[in-house]
Every structure is written in C-alpha cells, then in structure tokens.
C-alpha cells in the first residue's frame, strides 16, 4: 500500500503503522503539494491530509472514493527563550517589532493557512503581524527542514527567526529543546486543524478505517493530536 501523508504526521506515523497489519510505503510532504501530485497523476492508495479541504477537492474531482476525518491539531508559538520579557504572552510576543516571525507557506501547507486565520482573528494587530511574518517552510521553493529536525527548532536555533508558528502536536518535543519556549494560543484565537484521509483506491479503505479506530486515536492523542 502506498500513502502520501502530511509532514506533521511524520513523527507519529511509525507508531501508527506498527499497529497496522499491512506493509505501508509512505512519503511525507506539505499537504497542498501532495494533493497537486495526486491531481497530476501520481498513484497512491490513501492521502492523509492536515486539513479537510484537500481531500474534499480530490473527492469533488472524482479522484477519491471517500473522505474520512481522523484527527485534529491546533497552533502554538515557539520562541527563542532569551528574547522573552517577564510581561510577554503569546499576543505581545507576536506584536513586538524587534522579533522576526516565521510560518509555513499558505496554500502549499495547511499550517500556513491556519496561521493566516489566526492573524485574521487577531484583528488590526494581526494585520500588522501578517505583514511581518515570513513563510520559510512548506513551500515549493522552501529549503527542506533537515531530517530529524523540527521546523521550529531548525528555524529559530539556526538564526532565521525568533518566533515560529506551527502545530501544537510538536509542543512536547519542542519544550525539551534547550533555548526554546512554547507558548499556547487561546482557543478564542486558535484554529482547529481537521485531519482527514482521501481514500483513493479500495486498498486504502482499510487503513482509513484503522485511523478512525480507538487504538489509533489513543496513539494520536499521546502524540499531541486531538480527536
């Protein structure tokens, strides 16, 4: 079985597949770019996306048999610890002109789309943040994040930005990295990322069913994903 899966599933995927009885070959990448590959004719049995929109687009185009939701995620901020002031919270950090902000690429990577929604929910302050933010990962021409590195860790410790806006499923791992601080974003402003599969062939249906199982949900929850 061949699967194309959102990059944010890379860390948890081996644990999931260890409980699935059939061998699975998986390639990871930004979900929007993976969808384009399927639209261009690349073969796979299942596409695991970090949003509903890309699987639904494949279904509407007649390229998928069904769409199956299986998990959720949220956003968080990762900040270089030594730039934080005692009075800083998530909103004040984003509003500081002295700090550079990095994000994923909207359109190509759903994390970038969710981040744009965050800026909109922040109102006028968010528009100023939007103008300052730079999309450094997840795009067609973005430098790939090195294997074994987290995007926020690589961007911030590599000196490209002081703040990275990304998925909260990485928060536990990022909190273990010296020099980084993770700040939660309140639900009022945060965006719920809805993960869903596009079942491309009958062979993919079994895996989609497994991803909806209690066993799978327990593994995803342990890895920081919601139901």
Which domains does the chain possess?
2-72+193-222 (3.40.190.10), 75-184 (3.40.190.10)
Neighbours of 131 (CB within 10 A): 8
Between the CA atoms of 8, 222, 155 and 136, what dihedral angle is there, to the nearest 10 degrees?
20
| pLDDT at residue number 152 | 98
pLDDT at 70: 97
Tens of pLDDT along 197-206? 999 999 999 9
Please give the model's pTM, rounded to 2 decimal places: 0.94
For tokens 């948890």, what's the residue? Answer: 12
Q: Give CA–CA dist 16/9, Å, rounded.
A: 10
Rounded mean pLDDT of the chain? 97
How much is the average pLDDT of 161-166? 98
Model confidence at 155: pLDDT above 90: yes
Q: What is the mean pLDDT of residues 83-108?
A: 96
pLDDT (mean) for 137-154? 95
Mean pLDDT confidence for 156-160: 98
Strands lying side by side in the sheet with 101-104: 134-137, 101-104, 163-167, 75-80, 180-184
**What is the pLDDT at residue 227?**
78
The tally of CA atoms less than 13 A away on the side-chain side of residue 97 is 1
Quick one: pLDDT at residue 53? Answer: 96
Q: What is the pLDDT of residue 122?
A: 97
Judged by DSSP in three states, 106 sits in coil
Alpha helices in 21-150 (DSSP H): 31-39, 53-60, 90-95, 110-121, 124-132
Residue 153: what pLDDT?
A: 98
pLDDT average, residue stretch 91-118: 97
Tell me the three state secondary structure of residue 44: coil
- Mean pLDDT calculated for residue range 157-162: 98
The pLDDT tens digits of the residues spanning 41-73 come to 999 999 999 999 999 999 999 999 999 999 999
């Amino acid at each position: 079985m061949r699967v194309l899966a959102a990059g944010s599933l890379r860390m948890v995927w081996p644990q999931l597949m260890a409980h699935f009885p059939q061998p699975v070959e998986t390639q990871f990448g930004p979900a929007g770019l993976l969808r384009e590959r399927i639209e261009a004719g690349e073969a796979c049995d299942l596409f695991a996306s970090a949003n509903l929109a890309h699987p639904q687009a494949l279904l509407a185009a007649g390229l998928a048999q069904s769409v199956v939701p299986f998990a959720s995620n949220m956003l968080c901020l990762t900040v270089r610890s030594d730039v934080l002031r005692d009075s800083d919270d998530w909103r004040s950090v984003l509003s500081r002109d002295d700090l550079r902000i990095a994000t994923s690429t909207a359109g190509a990577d759903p994390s970038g789309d969710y981040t744009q929604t965050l800026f909109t929910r922040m109102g006028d302050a968010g528009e100023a943040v939007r103008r300052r933010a730079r999309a450094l990962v997840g795009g067609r021409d973005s430098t790939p994040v090195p294997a074994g590195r987290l995007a926020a860790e690589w961007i911030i410790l590599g000196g490209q930005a002081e703040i990275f806006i990304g998925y909260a499923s990485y928060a536990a791992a990022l909190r273990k990295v010296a020099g980084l601080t993770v700040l939660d974003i309140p639900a009022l402003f945060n965006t719920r990322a809805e993960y869903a599969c596009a079942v491309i062939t009958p062979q993919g249906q079994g895996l989609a069913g497994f991803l909806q199982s209690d066993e799978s949900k327990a593994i995803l929850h342990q890895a920081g994903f919601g139901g």
